[in-house]
Amino acid sequence: MTTKSLYNTKAMPTVGISARFSGPLKALGAVFKRLSNDVSSCFGLVVITILVLSAIFAPWIATHDPNLVNLPNALRPPDALNWFGTDELGRDIFSRIIHGTRITLSIITLVSIVVGPVGLLVGTTAGYFGGWCDTVMMRITDIFLSFPGLILSLAFVAALGAGLENAIIAIALTSWPPIARLARAETLTFRSADYISASRMQGASSIRIIVKSIMPMCLPSVLVRITLSMATVILTAAGLGFLGLGAQPPLPEWGAMIATGRRYMLDSWWLVAFPGMAILLVSLAFNLLGDGLRDALDPKQR
């Protein structure tokens, strides 16, 4: 074998690998380009990026120890030393909000990891098999959907006990039904497609068809739905924290910060204003990004 043929043989795997990843990279670049052309989507993406960076670099961004009690410095208004003022125990509110981004991001991440696969699996299975399987799964889904998310989360937290971990479990248990409904609707449109029939004729099992052929087609819609649901997740987590059923003191969770500061809010407005603004901005950012993703992933908009 000549040197030239050896060179070509070694180059073949590299070409295959590059070709394998070029398609997803081009699709990702197209989505990012469409998001960058929309002002509201850019705003949401920037806010979420700031949220992630703040969670990663919280110890370096925070100006004070978030749990350091300094009673002589209590209820201090915003100034050059304490940018967002201090709370009733003299703790720096800016530092607590920055460290609270870690709690918010952990709630978002863990809930997404649970509700995405669960909702996708339930919805695609019900839509593909139909019949009694569809009826049973969708009636269970309807039971969850018949209760407001916060009320159902309160019921689960009351059964599991107060705490951040139990609050995450409760929110995850109440967030998967809309995704399952969406995945089922998508599956009903795909299950009679020609490529699904071809897979059956080739002897592919139902599990393989669901996992390899149907789930990837449902992923864009599910991703958009999860992004839009994050605002509800943040508000539910803040509500549980406000009621004392979520993150427990001294954790700097934004809802819990509002709950402790409401007793002093008439004279010290900054105790509730800045945590509330953080909840508002992050929730709005996820809604705007979800709308942008929906437009970017919609074939009719291309």
Where are the chain's structural domains? 40-71+81-301
pLDDT at 202: 86
Rounded Cα distance between 35 and 56, Å, is 24
Cβ-based burial of 79 (10 A; exposed 0-12, middle 13-18, buried ≥19) = exposed
Those residues whose C-beta lies under 8 Å from the C-beta of residue 147, and which sit 6 or more positions away, are 155, 174
Amino acid at 205: S
pLDDT at 98: 95
Which residue intervals of 130-193 are DSSP H helices?
A: 131-145, 149-160, 164-190
Rounded Cα distance between 239 and 37, Å, is 34
Report CA dihedral (270, 276, 277, 279) to the nearest 10 degrees.
150
pLDDT at 9: 44
pLDDT at 5: 45
pLDDT at 11: 45
Cβ-based burial of 248 (10 A; exposed 0-12, middle 13-18, buried ≥19) = middle
Rounded Cα distance between 282 and 55, Å, is 13
Q: With contact defined as beta carbons under 8 Å apart, do 259 and 242 qualify?
A: yes
Nearest of 72, 153, 70 to residue 111 by alpha carbon: 153
pLDDT at 32: 67
pLDDT at 205: 87
pLDDT at 28: 65
In the predicted model, residues of the chain with pLDDT beneath 50 are 1-15, 17, 19, 21, 300
pLDDT at 10: 44
**CATH architecture type of domain 40-71+81-301:** Orthogonal Bundle (1.10)
